[in-house]
């Protein structure tokens, strides 16, 4: 007798190495293809801006910042925030990052746990991404959600106040993988796009 519901879906996804939603062929969130989008930006010589999760107040969400603080938010790319930005500086560890104003310690605990499982971390955070080499302001991350892997594309515009990141940030001011990972998770889990996910397929 087959297992019901979510359990069956999880088992099927684990054993289908090349199936849709596997790590080798993740589902594209809202049908955004990272490689094609990056290739297009490189050919055109432009920096990517994600119209599915735009750098504006709606992407931050309601009630997270006071209106006076929200009015001072500027969305900046890493090169506008740090003197020598890198995706990863000297490897990854649970001591790399700190909490911002959001108070999402559960998220920090989750990515801290990921750093102990390097093979899973490398699946979630593709480490071949660079800020300086073939750079066009686009990144992607993979999340295991509802029994399948989902690939989420983002731009690298991050919310700041007075030039400082307001959410998760690395303790090294030149390192940006934690802030970008948080942005990708925010896009997946709380954006209007995710809430209307069925329309994206």
> Catalytic residue numbers?
105
What angle (nearest 5°) sits at the alpha carbon of residue 182, between those of residues 161 and 11?
170
Cα atoms in the Cβ-side hemisphere of radius 13 Å centred on 104: 19
96 vs 137: CA distance, rounded Å: 22
The full 3-state SS of 5-18, as one line of letters, equals HHHHHHHHHHHCCC
37 vs 48: CA distance, rounded Å: 8
Closest by Cα among 152, 149, 197, 150 to 10? 149
State the distance between the two ends of the chain, measured CA to CA, in whole angstroms.
31
168 vs 178: CA distance, rounded Å: 6
CA 74 to each of CA 51, 158, 160: distance values in angstroms, whole numbers, following the listed order: 17, 8, 5
């Amino acid at each position: 007798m087959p297992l019901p519901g979510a359990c069956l879906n999880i088992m099927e996804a684990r054993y289908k190495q090349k199936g849709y939603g596997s790590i080798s062929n993740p589902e594209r969130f809202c049908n955004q293809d990272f490689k094609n989008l990056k290739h297009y930006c490189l050919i055109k010589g432009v920096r990517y801006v994600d119209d599915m999760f735009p750098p504006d107040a709606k992407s931050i969400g309601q009630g997270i910042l006071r209106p006076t603080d929200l009015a001072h938010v500027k969305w900046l790319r890493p090169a506008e925030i740090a003197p020598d930005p890198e995706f990863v500086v000297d490897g990854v560890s649970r001591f790399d990052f700190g909490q911002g104003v959001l108070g999402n310690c559960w998220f920090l605990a989750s990515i801290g746990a990921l750093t102990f499982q390097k093979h899973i971390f490398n699946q979630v955070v593709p480490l071949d991404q660079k800020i300086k080499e073939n750079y066009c302001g686009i990144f992607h991350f993979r999340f295991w959600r509802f029994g399948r892997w989902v690939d989420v594309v983002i731009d690298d515009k991050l919310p700041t106040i007075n030039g400082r990141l307001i959410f998760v940030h690395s303790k090294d001011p030149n390192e940006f993988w934690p802030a970008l990972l948080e942005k990708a998770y925010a896009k997946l889990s709380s954006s209007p796009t995710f809430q209307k996910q069925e329309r994206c397929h």
